[in-house]
Amino acid sequence: MSGFIDAHSHLQDERLKEHLDGVIAKAYEAGITKIVCCGTEEADWPEVKRIKEKYSDLIIPSFGLHPWYIPKRSAGWLKNLENVLTQISSGVGEIGLDFALREYDEDEQKKVFEAQLRLAHQLERPVTIHCRQAWEALMDVLEKSGPLKYGGLVHSYSGAAELIPRLRKFGLSFSFSGSITRSGNKKGRHSLLAVPSESLLVETDSPDLSPVGVEGTNEPAHLMMVVKTVAVLLGKSEEDIIQMTSQNAMRLFGILE
């Protein structure tokens, strides 16, 4: 096995913090070779940086302002983000749009998202995108900003299969999480079949989105459960899925190594 990469996680989450050494140990035991750890707000960026420093051979860090936390941002948030990104080789994310929130400002979300896309282009970094119930708005922003020269990932993809060719033209790949293990997730499974092999990644989104059969907090060691389902749905071996998705992940995030 050349590599086994969890393309999206939040190891800085309070639910994992107290026993993170054990989480990391189990990830190693499961054969995980890299974990992309995404910051979501100014308050957690220092912790993501600390995790990278402690587990340097395992962690690929990423920093961004998630749409959930836009109301909490400081006046200097964009400069703060730029400072973090220039201090450490890292991706830009988790960023994006979320119109499933009870209260949100569409224009504000777009402005924050666009600013981070510009920063990613300026600093030559890949992006990790969150999108819920905002797919046409996402397309509008991407049409305005143009192709992602350094690539990007739509994590835990929940959009329609028909959107995949449109999103790929901007340089985006797609990862699938524990939600794909749910037999009722017909939309997700249909979309999985539409993703070209060179654009497919897998993730845990730990500590959330546990695969079927996992009780409680999710963690990177459960990534194989996602792989098993993806392998069955695509009619491929588990080793093929591991090799394919890990190569794709390193092609996207390897510039940060």
- pLDDT tens string 225-235: 999 999 999 99
Rounded Cα distance, 61 and 253, in Å: 10
| 70 alpha carbon, distance to own chain's centre | 18
Q: What is the residue range of 26's domain?
A: 5-256
The confidence score (pLDDT) of residue 216 equals 87
CB atoms within 10 A of CB 61: 27
Say how far apart CA 257 and CA 253 lie, in whole Å.
8
- Say yes or no to pLDDT of 149 above 70: yes
- Which pLDDT score is estimated for 257? 72
132: CB partners within 8 A, 6+ apart: 97, 98, 99, 100, 158
Q: CATH no. for residue 164? A: 3.20.20.140
End-to-end CA distance of the chain: 19
| Contact predicate 150/252, CB 8 Å | no
pLDDT, residue 236, reads 98
The count of C-alpha atoms lying within 13 angstroms of the C-alpha of 116, restricted to the half-sphere facing its C-beta, is 33
Q: Over 70: is that where the pLDDT of 32 sits?
A: yes
pLDDT above 90 covers what percent of the chain?
Answer: 95
Q: Does the predicted model carry a pTM greater than 0.85?
A: yes
Give the count of beta carbons closer than 10 Å to the beta carbon of residue 108: 13
- Mean pLDDT score of the chain, rounded to an integer? 96
Q: Phi and psi dihedrals of 241, rounded to 5?
A: -65, -45
Say which range, 2-6, 117-121, 188-192, has the weakest mean pLDDT: 2-6
> pLDDT, tens digit, for every residue of 53-77?
999 999 999 999 999 999 999 999 9
User: How many structural domains comprise the chain?
Assistant: 1
Is it the case that residue 33 has pLDDT exceeding 80? yes
Residue 2: band (very low, low, confident or very high) from pLDDT cuts 50, 70, 90: low
pLDDT exceeds cutoff 60 at 237:
yes
Cis, bond preceding 215 (omega within 30 deg of 0): no
The token pair that represents 11 in the structure block:
């190891």
pLDDT at 1 (0 to 100): 39
